[in-house]
Amino acid sequence: MKNDLYKILVELSPNYKKNYLPSISIDCVVFGFHDASLKVLLLQLKNTTKWGLPGGYLKRDEDLNAGANRILKERTGAENIFLNQFKTFGKKNRSEEFFSDFPDDLWHKQRYISIAHYALINFEIVNPVIDQFSEACEWKEISELPELMMDHEDIFNEALLQLRRDLNYKPVGLNLLPEKFTMPELQKLYEIILDKKLNRGNFYRKMTRYEILEKLNETRKGGAHKAPDLYKFDEKKYKAALKTGLQESW
């Protein structure tokens, strides 16, 4: 298996041993919302058919949050991303099969505990970056995922489950929707995340009671029906709700 990826990883292994903490990795499930569908950012490593989550390693002089933000900025070009650490994955053989043909002393082949985060990001501001390790970096619809490497499918499933749990007490949308949006667009986002239909009237009343939306004196132009009103999030109240939580569940 003397391919491009093999050569790159073997060549960089000494540098990783010098500059990064052993046994700790970071994997990120990056969600974006576009064309009424929830998407996840995936990469395909060189010389492989499987896809994976954006990830990397923690530098020796780096805080964990800083490391996760650095990794995502390198992969997306975006800053100030909403990032939530949700679980640690530590099966002893989680990457053994993927690196089976590599030398045993390779940095990437050692046992790693992965600290998983999910990120919410505006699809429009992301410029997926193909680095020296990868053939592609693309958005995929969550309902049409390709085969994922190692335990990345488990990480993705847990991230989506945690995002659904978080909807019960945290607002969602500021990092996924454009600055101005309609109530049906916001409802569609919630329905896709929750994987269920929501009553239109109940959704409107609940979102109004949260007091995190500001109704604008504008409407969405176009279409055969009455132009829907546009809203935006009150960022101050939205961020306060992230800290204190919402009082009703879906």
Give per-residue pLDDT as tens, 200-212. Answer: 999 999 999 999 9
**What's the whole-model pTM score?**
0.88
In this prediction, residue 58 carries a pLDDT of: 94
Counting as low any pLDDT under 50, the low residues of the chain are: 1
In this prediction, residue 33 carries a pLDDT of: 92
Contacts 24+ apart (CB under 8 A), 151-154: 151/89, 151/91, 151/94, 151/114, 152/27, 152/51, 152/52, 152/53, 154/89
Length of the chain: 250
220 Cβ contact partners less than 8 Å away, ≥ 6 residues apart: 182, 227, 228, 229, 230
In this prediction, residue 201 carries a pLDDT of: 94
3-state secondary structure string across 166-192: HCCCCCCCCCCCCCCEEHHHHHHHHHH
Distance CA 197, CA 203 (A): 10
Domains of the chain: 4-154 (3.90.79.10), 181-244 (1.10.10.10)
Token pair in block for residue 9: 């990883």
In this prediction, residue 8 carries a pLDDT of: 85
Q: Which residues pair with 213 in a beta bridge?
A: 233
